[in-house]
Amino acid sequence: MHFIKSLSAATALYALGYALPTESPSLSGRDVPCDPISKYTTNYFLDHHIYTPPATTCLFYTFGLSATAQRFAHGGGSDMTTIWDIWPCELYNGDDNSGNPLRCIFKDNTMRLTYFENMSRAMAMLCKTFATVMTDDPKNIPQPGIWGRIEEPTLKLTGNPGGQVDTIIAVNTKGDDVQDVWVRPGTKRKTMSIRSTSSENENKALFKRQPNECYNPDQLQKWFGDVEW
Ligand SMILES: *[C@@H]1O[C@H](CO)[C@@H](O)[C@H](O)[C@H]1NC(C)=O
């Protein structure tokens, strides 16, 4: 009796034009193989960025502040650049569905860290003149994360593709405590009032700013908030 009932329900579905699913479909409707981590080198990120941080606008942050820094960067009339502004949406996709080629990398903490280390290094190489790090206590910046190991040392290099950074400051989450972190020996302290409108950024700026178009700060915080920034 029960069998007959469900059989006729199935027949009715067929009649209405529905196919009975044989396996659960992926959210994207298409399965793609997982990308290997070896694809995502710093050079890969340098080659695929679609927005160049205008001089003085780079905003980095330490552990747990992904969403806070992203809101700070785009709120209150400031127009700073975070890691979520520089690459196409698909490179930030943390969805765990079989249509996302990054799903295996993001499921594995070690690969995920490598991915964001290489992306972060590329961002630091694109910064110019002046860079800021957001952290809870600007007088006491945690060093074990991506900021201390990758971003800060990279910003201090010379000959980066984006130009040269001469001043690094730290700011708290409210933006009311600002401390100098580093001034390049032999240079004058730069300030944020230096704004670049140079033509080199115009082409890249034609692309819309990414974060609000891709994933909102809360979504990114949920996916990537526990990366050791
Ligand atoms: C980037 O990530 C790879 C892992 O795929 C790693 O071996 C490499 O050293 C990293 N660094 C750079 C600069 O690409």
- Taking only the tens place, the pLDDT of each residue in 55-97 is 999 999 999 999 999 888 887 556 899 999 999 999 999 999 9
CB of 114 within 6 A of ligand 1: the answer is yes
State how far the Cα of 177 lies from the Cα of 36, in Å rounded to an integer.
Answer: 41
CB of 118 within 6 A of ligand 1: the answer is yes
> Where residue 208 falls among pLDDT bands split at 50, 70, 90?
very low
| Residue whose CA lies nearest to ligand 1 atom number 1 | 41
With H, G, I as helix, E, B as strand and everything else as coil, classify residue 58.
strand
> Where residue 120 falls among pLDDT bands split at 50, 70, 90?
very high
Atom of ligand 1 nearest to the CA of 39: 5
CA-derived radius of gyration, the chain:
22
Tell me the CA–centroid distance for residue 168 and ligand 1, in Å: 25
- Taking only the tens place, the pLDDT of each residue in 146-184 is 999 999 999 999 999 999 999 999 999 988 899 999 999
Structure token digits, residue 79: 């127009």
Would you say residue 22 has pLDDT above 70? no
